[in-house]
Every structure is written in structure tokens, then in C-alpha cells.
Structure 1
Amino acid sequence: MAEIQPVRGWRYNAMLSANIDDYVSPLFDVVSAKQREALYRNPLNSIHLSVPRGTDPAGEAGQRLAEWQQTGVLRQDEMPGIYVYYQYFRLPGSHHEYCRKGFMCHIRAAAWADNVVLRHENTLPAAVNDRAELLARTQFQSSATHGLYRDEDFELERYLDEAIADPLYQTEEDYQGARDVLAVIQDAAVIERFRAVLAERQVILADGHHRYEGSLAYRQARMAADPQHTGREPWNFHLMYLTNAAADDLRILPTHRLLLELPGALTDAEFLARLEPYFTVLPQEDAYGLPELIAGKQWAFGLYIGGQAYKLRLRPAAHEQLDWDTTSEVKALDLTVLHFFVLEKALGIIGPDAQRTWPGVAYVRTFSECLTRVDRQEARAALIVNEVTMEEVERVCHSGAVMPPKSTFFYPKTIGGFLFTSIGDAEHDNSFYAPFNSGL
């Protein structure tokens, strides 16, 4: 199953780490353009390595990385380790503080067909190519993807808790309101326990499908260029943040759908009429009550259109019409029902591929933003959904299928710049790694 390796992490030097909030960066697609611009104005922010800009972005990232290494902005730890990463956070409207516990390390970049790392969504080739080029030009990883393993015995958590008591550094509060804490485990015997536990398990990729596929593409290119490769070269591995899917503090938030247009110049009344054969459509007085109204109900959705709220519930007999070529686990999902009966049947956007590229739908994570954008006439309608459960994610992944786009929003997101790792050729000859290079 999964093969993990400790890493000699690259981190901001001690002086800069004291103000680590100034140098970490979010994933590119979860912040506004204004927030990104503020990050780019800081010449030492990690966004210059994770999402470089310019006429030759990957080349500029490589040049900046070399400068940071030569001038000591980034320094490599002397010993390899497993890097413990805790995120403390609260959900909107709640005073309860959660703590998502996990660790960062290298994992062998196994192809999807190997059935070791499992995906739950499709990727866009252009985005994968960008990630692969950046990796090829820098041989450096600046933001960990997020993977899930399941361990009902919670065997590793005691080691994580011991390490986090002596942190390397922490943020005061990142862009999403979370407090991020980093520590390290360098005890070889403990690291071997981590490797043994993961060796018995598959990993579900929660976040970072394009970055992971970029690693796969780069690994494939290096293998093709070196017929004598051994499989132990650093470029066989990928930086991943691993968390226990059995933990209560693993949160998945809903991603609502905004209809920016109604094809064929449909009126509101015509759209509602097209929904009637498939859904019971019940008008509601209070749009802000929609999330509570549909909570926990299968195939139930909120609709806000023309200033009026509705509760939609799929007619049970209609579900047998869902004839997409996918697994029963995917067909059972709320979002599959929504995409099939609303986007395809009511709006005529036929099939998952056409829906993925249709510009008439936007994905919004904040319920109030959905209502506001409809009221401002920036969108014709908002479709309010329930969150996907971890059990649903696991069932779909183990069925070998993928979910509709933007099905999951694992919260909080990992941050870039907290830990960097190298997959450069020089790492291969490092004697510190020798005990971990013989396999399990």
C-alpha cells in the first residue's frame, strides 16, 4: 500500500520564521484577486514559488528559489523527519474549537491504476501540465497536497501529540482564521511506526489533485529518460499532508452552485416548470432558512431565484431516470442528482464533460454570498446543497469512480510555505536517508 518517507525539510530561517504569517500563502483558488496581489507584493512570500507569475513563471520560480537558498532565506534541516501539522479552527457561528491533526512527509507518487492513492475528482490537463513544468524546473514542493488514511485505533496520534508540545513555529491566524502549528519527529523508530501503519493502508486524495498528477507526470518523464532508474530516486516522491479519516475534526463544507445564466433565455417561471417533473417545488417565506430546511435530507436542495426561495426534493420515482455511466455510489450523491436533473434535464447541459466546461455555473462556498449575488443580479439563481460526508467520499473512491466537480471542500485548507521539500537529485545521495531507503 502507501509508502512514505521522512524528509529533510526546507524552512524559512529562524528570523523569518518568527513572523511566519508574513510568508505563508493560501491555495490559489480559495482567495480573492485582491488578497493574492497583497501576497505578491511581499518579495519573500511563498506564493512566488507555489504560484509564480511572469513571462516564464516556472523559470522565475527557479531563479528565486536559488537566490533564497544561497542567501539563507530558506534553510534545510539537518536531520530527516516526519513534520507534525495541527490546524486549530472554528466553524462560522460556533464557539467550539476543532483541531485537525496530521503530518507531512513524502509519499511515493503511485499511479491511479495502482489503487494506492485514490482520487475523487477529475483534473484539467492544462493545470496538470503547469504543475509538472514547475516541478521540473524547480525540483521543489512548496505546498503539501492533502491525503486521508483511516486508522480506527488512532495509533499515530499519541506521537503527534507529544511532538506538537514542542512546536517549531506557528501562525497567529492564517487567511481562513485557523491557527497552524508545525513540529517535527526525528526518532527513527517512531518514523518506522508511521511507515508501517501507512504501508497497510490506501490514501484518499482530499485536496490537490492537479499537484499530485503533476508529480505523476514529472515522475513518468524522469523514468522514461532514465531506463536504469531504481525507484528510490527523490523524484519518485510527493509532499503530502496526511490526516486520519476516522477523526471527528475532519470537516467537509458544502459548495453551492450559482446559475449565472439560464440557457435559451428561460424565464424564472419556465425554469420552475422544467423542474416540476422531477422535484416537489415548495415556496418558502425565508430564504435564510434554506440550509436548515434541507439539512440531513437526501436529494433535497434550496433554490433562490427572483427574490423567492424554494425547497426542492427529488421525487423518489424520478431517480431511476439517472442513466449516467457511473457507479451506484456516485448516483446516490445529492450533487449527482442536482447535476443530472437540474443541469442536464432542466437546462439541457448534457453530460458531466459539458457541465465541467459550461461557463454558466459558478461554485460558491458561502451561503449568504449566494443570496447576495442573486439579489444583485450577478446570477440568475442559487442552488443550496448539503455537505458531502466522509463516508460518501470513501464509498465513491473505493468504487473507482469520481464525483461531480467541486463536490468537497475540506476545511481548513493547508497553507503553502509552512514546509518546503526538495526532490532534487542531490537528495538521493544523502546518507541520512539510507535507513529508510530499503523499503518496508
Structure 2
Amino acid sequence: MADIRPFRALRYNTATETLSAVICPPYDVISPQREASLLAHDLHNFIRIEYAKTLPGDDESCNRYTRALAHLQEWLRDEVLKQDEKPAYYLHEHTYSYGGEKVVRRGLFARVRLEEWDKMVVRPHERTMAGPKKDRIKLIGTLEADTSPVFGLYQDDGGSVGSVLNQVSQWPEAIEFSGEPGEYHRLWVITDLEAVAAIQRAFIDKPVYIADGHHRYESSLAYRNERLALDPKLSADAAVNFVMMSLTDMADPGLLILPTHRLIKGLPKNLLYILPERLAEYFNVESLDSIGESWNKVKDLMKESSSRFFIYGLNGKEFLSLTVKDQTKVERFMPSGHTATYRGMDVSLVDHVVLEDILGMNPMDEERIAYDHDLDSTVARVNSGEFQFAFILKPVKPETIKDISDAKDRMPRKSTYFYPKLPSGIVVYRLRD
């Protein structure tokens, strides 16, 4: 189904550049402190292209996008970046640590033909916001390049893709470099004609599911449509008809999806007082006692597949476990047009039943709601008094993403967090033929 092809990537010249010094996180997770650190670290750090600084006095002719273009042109001229001579797939092994264990996630950099959502060739699972797309469209149009990959998933039930990648991973020509603290990367450039053909054949009947990077995908699609409107005779194989993606098997043992816990502040005392009683109208509420006694039990319950979420800090250092009493009773709070999978998700119950109905809040009220992907950190932020309490959610499983996407549904905002984020700067896709 998906048209997945090799491409001639722009890559750092490893004869002159140290990759560990020049790659950077994707634009949407770079904090101001990390930005300053990356800018000071190396004159050729990719942040200067991926997320160039906004400066006072910027205008249409001089701004963050034109500065990114100037760096790109300079680095190409000085051969800091070079374009590969042959089209290639790029096998990427991303090693990281989580929970005290070393984990490896495998991805394949490729260019994927852009398709409108209704064709169900590339399938989303969440909605996007307009602001981030405007930024990415401007960057793509100015640079004529995809600077960071969309993270996609596929099912490899027959193992056809995996068998080829297993062979490639035995090749000795890997490029090895470190990344963020505790992270390590290996990259293989696949130009062998038999391997390239085998990978293309293996993807013929597979849709692609977007894991992370919905904004980047929709920005690329919008830019393609702009170009097509200007030139209706644009070749179907023109570079702008494709987007750079990193593709990972849904069954990859290194695929880690973290939950997005909700931390709450700014609620009046009277609302906090009646909250336990209101919760009991819709949920079975079980106290798991103090944090020391219940910590392991919470972590065990978070592994189960049934609908269950937790609240921490409503009654001191106590965890509450909540399950639905009567599904028909909570159904009336769910937005119309959503699937049973959506209606049964923990995040849907929290957003629509508790936040919207019981607390009268907008689930996107970021003045009173913060998000954290780490359980220890979430608990600590409540204990410190920064937040009044927190909703602790279970991680979403890959099969839930597939079910939602296959049904043309979308999850609530901030339902998934894929860890770790793919770095930017390993490969760049140029939208020039």
C-alpha cells in the first residue's frame, strides 16, 4: 500500500564532523536551556537548521528560516554536509537505557509517498494544532528539505522486512556515535541493489501508522499541495511528493510508549472536597494506602489491559485506583462519533468524565494542567506542593494505536509519548530532484 523508496540523503561529513557533537533533539522537545547548550557545543550543531533562534527585529527577509537556509547553504558549500551519490535506505539502531535496562529500537529511514488521510495508506492516531504546522511549513518551504523524520510504524507479521534488516545489521560498515546521555546510535547505508529491492517488495502491502510527527507529516502534505497548485504538471515522482520517515516494526522490542500523566493545580477547595463523592458516582474507587506499600502494586496494575487509572495526592500520599462502574453511565460524557476503543481508553475517561464533567475543566487548559511521562517525577511534583494531585495513566499499547487508526478515529490530545525521541541531523531529505 505505502510507496516507500530509498533516497539520496544529506549527511554530515564524518571525515570532518563528530556526529555526537552535531546531532540534536527534534524541535518540539528542545528546552531553552538545552538550546543554549547545543548552540555553544559546536558551530555545526544541527539545531542551527532544525530550530534556528528568533531574534529581535526579524522580518520577512531576515528571520529564523532565512538563517537556517544560510547555514544549510554554507555547510553544503564547505562540505560539512554532503549528499550521498546513490539512493539508499538507512538502517538505524538506537540504543538507550530505561528502567535500568539497555534497550535497542530499530528504524529504517526512507522516503514515503505523501497521501491524504482518507486514502488510509498512511494512518494517523491523533489530532494536530495549527501553530506548529505553520512553523514547519515555513521551514520546509524555505529549506526545500525535511530536517527531521516522521516516526512511523508498520506490521511485519511475516517477518519479510525484519529478515532483510537482520542481514544488514551484520554488515561491518556501520557508522557508530553517541547521542543524548545514555544513548548510542549505529547507522548502515543500504545501497545494495538486492537489499533495496527486497525492502521495497516487503512494504508493498503494508500501510504506515504515524507514531510521532503528525505535525511534520501534515506540514509536508500542505507544502506538497502548495507546490502542486503552482505546478499542476508536477511529476508524480518529484521529491516533494515524499516525506522522510523512520519506520519501526510495531513488534520491535525497543518500541517504548510512555503514558502522559495529568497534574492538576488551581482548583478551589470546595471542588476538591466533593471530588471523591462525585468520582464514586461513576467509578469503583479503591484506596491503595500509602505510597510505600502501594508503589509496586500500582506499577503491576499499570501493565494490565483493562480500563483503569489512578489518582495520587487527593488524600495525602495515597493512591486511588479507579475502574468504571457502569460503562453506559459514562458513555453520555463521550463525544459522539468515536469508537469503543476510544471510549474505553483511560485518557478518554479522565479527559471527558472527570476533567470536563466533574471538574468543569477544559482538558487542554495548560494553565491548570501539566503533563509528565515519569511516575516518580509526577509523584514528586505533587509531594512538593507544585500540584494538588495527579491522574496516573497506563501506557497506550501499539495495538490500540492500530485499532484507532484503522477505524479512522483519533485519540485525545497527549495520549502517547514515544521514548526516546528520534534525533535530528542523522539524515536530511532534500526536496530537490
Tell me the TM-score normalised to structure 1 length. Answer: 0.89
Residue 101 of structure 1, CA deviation: 1.8
Residue 168 of structure 1, CA deviation: 4.1
Task: Give per-residue Cα distances to partners, 1:73-119, cap 9 Å, x unaligned.
Answer: 101111111011111233213x3x33222210110111111211100
Counterpart of 1:122 in structure 2 is: 127
**What does residue range 315-330 of structure 1 map to in structure 2 within 5 Å?**
315-323=324-332, 324-325=335-336, 326-330=338-342
Counterpart of 2:274 in structure 1 is: 270
Counterpart of 2:91 in structure 1 is: 84
| Equivalent residues of 2:108, 2:248 under 8 A apart | yes
Match of 2:368 among 353, 360, 369: 360
| Equivalent residues of 2:107, 2:246 under 8 A apart | yes
Match of 1:281 among 276, 279, 285: 285
Counterpart of 1:436 in structure 2 is: none
Aligned equivalents of 2:286, 2:273: Cα separation in 1? 14
Aligned equivalents of 1:376, 1:75: Cα separation in 2? 50
- CA gap of 1:44–1:142, structure 2 versus 1, over 3 A, is same
Aligned equivalents of 2:113, 2:66: Cα separation in 1? 26
1:169 and 2:175 are equivalent in the alignment: yes
Aligned equivalents of 2:302, 2:164: Cα separation in 1? 40
Match of 1:347 among 345, 349, 359: 359
Aligned equivalents of 2:270, 2:410: Cα separation in 1? 31
| Partner secondary structure for residue 26 of structure 1 | coil
Counterpart of 1:302 in structure 2 is: 310
- CA gap of 1:271–1:197, structure 2 versus 1, over 3 A, is same
Residue 190 of structure 1, CA deviation: 2.1
Counterpart of 1:62 in structure 2 is: 69
- CA gap of 1:141–1:344, structure 2 versus 1, over 3 A, is same
| Partner secondary structure for residue 363 of structure 2 | helix
| Partner secondary structure for residue 306 of structure 2 | coil
1:223 and 2:228 are equivalent in the alignment: yes
- Aligned residue pairs, count: 416
- CA gap of 1:31–1:282, structure 2 versus 1, over 3 A, is farther
CA RMSD of aligned residues (A): 1.9
| Equivalent residues of 2:286, 2:321 under 8 A apart | yes
Counterpart of 2:116 in structure 1 is: 111
1:6 and 2:6 are equivalent in the alignment: yes
- CA gap of 1:129–1:265, structure 2 versus 1, over 3 A, is farther
Runs of 4+ in 1 over 6 A off after TM superposition: none
Residue 388 of structure 1, CA deviation: 0.7
Deviates more, 1:319-328 or 1:118-127: 319-328
- CA gap of 1:266–1:221, structure 2 versus 1, over 3 A, is farther
1:386 and 2:394 are equivalent in the alignment: yes
Aligned equivalents of 2:302, 2:191: Cα separation in 1? 48
Counterpart of 1:194 in structure 2 is: 199
| Equivalent residues of 1:322, 1:340 under 8 A apart | no
1:312 and 2:321 are equivalent in the alignment: yes
1:242 and 2:244 are equivalent in the alignment: no
Tell me the TM-score normalised to structure 2 length. Answer: 0.91
Aligned equivalents of 1:194, 1:148: Cα separation in 2? 15
Deviates more, 1:26-35 or 1:48-57: 26-35
Deviates more, 1:317-326 or 1:68-77: 317-326
Counterpart of 1:208 in structure 2 is: 213
Aligned equivalents of 2:328, 2:71: Cα separation in 1? 54
| Equivalent residues of 1:85, 1:103 under 8 A apart | yes
Aligned equivalents of 1:260, 1:110: Cα separation in 2? 41
| Equivalent residues of 1:284, 1:308 under 8 A apart | no
Aligned equivalents of 2:235, 2:130: Cα separation in 1? 28
Aligned equivalents of 1:393, 1:251: Cα separation in 2? 13
Ranges in structure 1 where 5+ consecutive residues have no aligned partner: 429-440
Match of 1:396 among 374, 399, 404: 404
| Equivalent residues of 2:145, 2:430 under 8 A apart | yes
Aligned equivalents of 2:19, 2:265: Cα separation in 1? 39
- CA gap of 1:89–1:233, structure 2 versus 1, over 3 A, is same
Residue 157 of structure 1, CA deviation: 2.2
Task: Name the aligned partner's letter for residue 357 of structure 2.
Answer: K
- CA gap of 1:102–1:151, structure 2 versus 1, over 3 A, is same
| Partner secondary structure for residue 247 of structure 2 | strand
Counterpart of 1:438 in structure 2 is: none
Match of 1:74 among 70, 73, 81: 81
Counterpart of 2:47 in structure 1 is: 47
